[in-house]
């Protein structure tokens, strides 16, 4: 975290609402783009981004600076998403995956957003594998950092990434 950003965080933690708003503004679109890739659903990503920002505002005093501010936001957003997915699984069965992927593709295309074969393949991965692969290979986090973000052992992250990459390779063939 840069000195300027750490100064802003410190001011925000002391209750400076304007500085907190500035920090959130600086990281909002990055967080949203990350959550779109995680959820494969722009509307859900919007909701998750909002929920993440609210949690950030509530918990800003707990941020300890051990990771970058954006990583902290990604951790919050990922955990909120995983909690929602778990909750939905308990409430009802998911719609058939193919129908879901067609709906997501239509949402992207109707908004003139790019839908690539890679996104198609990512959409077919389980949530756990998709999040792990994205954090490792798209965002460049280490297995240990991902493990901390997801509150799982780094060995579990390694196996999820390996399995996810293996599934992506099979999809491409």
Dist CA 115 CA 42 (whole Å): 12
Stretch 36-46: mean pLDDT: 94
Among residues 57, 2, 49, the alpha carbon closest in space to that of 28 is found at 49
Average the pLDDT over each of 1-5, 54-58, 91-95 and give the range with the smallest value. Answer: 91-95
**Encoded tokens for 164:** 């996810």
Dist CA 28 CA 44 (whole Å): 15
- Check if the beta carbon of residue 40 is closer than 8 Å to that of residue 123: yes
Instruction: Summarize pLDDT for 60-90 with one digit per residue, the tens.
Output: 999 998 899 999 999 999 999 999 988 877 6
- Give the chain's mean pLDDT: 86
Domain ranges of the chain: 1-94
Among residues 58, 76, 79, the alpha carbon closest in space to that of 67 is found at 76
pLDDT for the residue numbered 28: 96
Q: Which CATH number fits domain 1-94: 1.10.1740.10, 1.10.10.10, 1.20.1260.10, 3.20.20.100?
A: 1.10.1740.10
Instruction: Summarize pLDDT for 4-38 with one digit per residue, the tens.
Output: 888 999 999 999 999 999 999 999 999 999 999 99
């Amino acid at each position: 975290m840069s000195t300027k950003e750490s100064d802003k965080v410190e001011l925000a933690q002391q209750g400076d609402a304007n500085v907190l708003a500035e920090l959130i503004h600086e990281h909002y679109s990055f967080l949203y783009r990350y959550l779109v890739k995680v959820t494969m659903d722009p509307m859900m990503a919007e909701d998750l981004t909002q929920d993440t920002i609210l949690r950030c505002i509530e918990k800003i005093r707990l941020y300890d600076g051990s990771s970058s501010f954006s990583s902290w936001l990604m951790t919050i957003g990922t955990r909120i998403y995983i909690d929602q997915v778990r909750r939905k699984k308990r409430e009802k069965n998911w719609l058939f995956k193919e129908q879901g992927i067609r709906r997501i593709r239509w949402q992207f295309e109707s908004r003139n957003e790019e839908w690539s074969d890679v996104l198609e393949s990512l959409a077919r991965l389980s949530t756990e594998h998709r999040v792990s692969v994205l954090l490792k290979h798209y965002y460049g986090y280490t297995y240990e950092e991902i493990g901390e973000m997801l509150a799982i052992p780094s060995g579990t992250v390694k196996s999820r990434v390996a399995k996810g990459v293996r599934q992506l390779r099979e999809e491409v063939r």
